[in-house]
C-alpha cells in the first residue's frame, strides 16, 4: 500500500506538486490522471525516492520513505519515465544486472527471468542487445527489470506511452494480472480512456493539486455527468492534454 500525505515540491517559482494526498491500495490499480505538466512524474519521483519532497510524507507498506528509503526500494518496482536501458547489454542481461543489485541469487534470477519472459511474452527478444529495440520492446524489458525482485508495490510512469494498440492491450492484461496477485499498482497517464479501462480508483491531478478522486462511478456522480469523458472535462475545467 502507498499512502501519500500533503506532498509538496517546487522548482523555483513553479509549484509542481502542491499538497497532493491519496492512498493506493493493495489488490487495486490506482490511476494518476492529469494533463501535461500536472505534476504526475514529480509526484511519482518522490514516491520512489528519486526526489526529496519539500514537505509531506510518503509511506510504503507503512514505512516512511524519508527514514526507510532502502527498505522502501526493496518493496517497490518502478518503471520510470526515462526507461534507461543499457544498450550494449541484452534484455536478459539488463534484467539480471538489476536482480543482482537487489541481492537475488542466481537460481532465483533464472527462475524470475523465465516467469517474466513468459508473462510479458518477450522470449524472442530476451537475448538481443537492447540497442535498436522498439518502444514496446524497451518498455517490456524495463518492466521485467522493475519486477524481477517480486515487489508488492508497482509504480509505472506512463506505461503505454508510445505503444501500439496490441501492445497497449497486452499491457492492460499484464497490469490486471499484477492486481490479481494482490499487488498495489499505481500508474500515471494523461489518457482518460486508459485510466477508465483499467483503474479501480482514479486520482485526478491538475496544477499540482488533487482535484478529484474516486471510482469512475463516483467521479461521474460527483460531476453529474453520465459520460466519464465529460466528467473529466468538468473536473479539469478543459479537455486540454487529456485526449488520447
Judged by CB under 6 A, which of 4, 7, 16, 236 binds ligand ATP? 16
Q: Does 160 bind ligand ATP (CB under 6 A)?
A: no
Dihedral Cα 182, 66, 142, 176, nearest 10 deg: 20
Nearer to ligand ATP, 49 or 91 (CB): 49
Nearer to ligand ATP, 179 or 190 (CB): 190
Distance CA 145, CA 48 (A): 15
Edge to edge, the sheet with strand 201-206 lists: 76-79, 153-157, 184-189, 28-33, 201-206, 209-214
Distance CA 190, CA 36 (A): 7
Please give the span between the terminal C-alpha atoms of the chain, in angstroms, as a whole number.
Answer: 29
Nearer to ligand ATP, 47 or 171 (CB): 47
- Least separation in angstroms between residue 186's CB and ligand ATP is 13
Q: Which cell numbers in the block locate residue 179? A: 492486481
Q: Which residue has the cell 517490456?
A: 140
Closest Cα to residue 19, out of 2, 42, 35?
42
- Least separation in angstroms between residue 16's CB and ligand ATP is 3
User: At 88, is the secondary structure helix, strand, or coil?
Assistant: coil
Distance CA 84, CA 69 (A): 21
> What track of x and - describes contact with ligand ATP for positions 19 through 58 (by CB under 6 A)?
---------------x-xxxxxxx----------------
Beta strands at 28-33 and 184-189: parallel, antiparallel or unpaired: parallel
Dihedral Cα 199, 133, 45, 110, nearest 10 deg: 80
- Least separation in angstroms between residue 40's CB and ligand ATP is 3
Q: Does 11 bind ligand ATP (CB under 6 A)?
A: yes
Q: Does 83 bind ligand ATP (CB under 6 A)?
A: no
Residues 169-208 that bind ligand ATP (CB under 6 A): 190
Distance CA 49, CA 62 (A): 15
Applying CB under 6 A, the site for ligand ATP has a residue count of: 12
6 touches 56 (CB < 8 A): yes
Nearer to ligand ATP, 10 or 233 (CB): 10
Nearer to ligand ATP, 45 or 112 (CB): 45
Nearer to ligand ATP, 96 or 157 (CB): 157
Nearer to ligand ATP, 41 or 49 (CB): 41
Residues 93-112 that bind ligand ATP (CB under 6 A): none
Per CB under 6 A, the segment of 10-18, 72-80, 142-150, 178-186 that binds ligand ATP is 10-18
Query: Where along the sequence are the contacts to ligand ATP (CB under 6 A)?
Result: 11, 14, 16, 34, 36-42, 190
Amino acid at each position: 500500500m502507498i499512502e501519500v500525505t500533503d506532498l509538496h515540491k517546487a522548482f523555483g517559482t513553479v509549484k509542481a506538486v502542491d499538497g497532493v494526498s491519496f492512498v493506493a491500495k493493495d489488490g487495486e490499480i490506482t490511476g494518476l490522471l492529469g494533463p501535461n505538466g500536472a505534476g504526475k512524474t514529480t509526484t511519482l519521483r518522490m514516491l520512489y525516492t528519486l526526489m526529496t519532497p519539500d514537505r509531506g510524507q510518503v509511506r510504503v507498506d507503512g514505512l516512511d520513505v524519508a527514514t526507510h528509503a532502502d527498505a522502501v526500494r526493496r518493496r517497490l518496482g518502478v518503471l520510470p519515465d526515462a526507461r534507461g536501458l543499457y544498450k550494449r547489454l541484452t534484455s536478459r542481461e539488463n534484467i539480471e544486472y538489476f536482480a543482482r543489485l537487489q541481492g537475488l541469487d542466481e537460481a532465483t534470477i533464472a527462475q524470475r527471468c523465465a516467469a517474466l519472459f513468459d508473462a510479458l511474452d518477450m522470449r524472442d527478444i530476451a537475448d538481443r542487445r537492447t540497442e535498436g529495440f522498439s518502444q514496446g520492446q524497451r518498455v517490456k524489458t524495463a518492466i521485467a527489470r522493475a519486477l524481477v525482485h517480486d515487489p508488492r508495490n508497482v509504480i509505472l510512469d506512463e506505461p503505454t506511452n508510445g505503444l501500439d494498440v496490441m501492445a497497449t492491450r497486452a499491457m492492460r492484461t499484464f497490469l490486471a494480472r499484477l492486481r490479481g496477485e494482490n499487488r498495489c499498482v499505481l500508474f500515471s497517464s494523461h489518457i482518460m480512456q486508459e485510466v477508465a479501462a483499467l483503474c479501480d480508483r482514479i486520482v485526478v491531478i491538475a496544477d499540482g493539486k488533487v482535484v478529484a478522486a474516486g471510482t469512475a462511478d463516483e467521479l461521474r456522480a460527483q460531476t453529474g455527468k453520465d459520460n466519464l469523458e465529460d466528467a473529466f472535462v468538468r473536473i479539469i475545467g478543459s479537455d486540454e492534454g487529456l485526449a488520447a
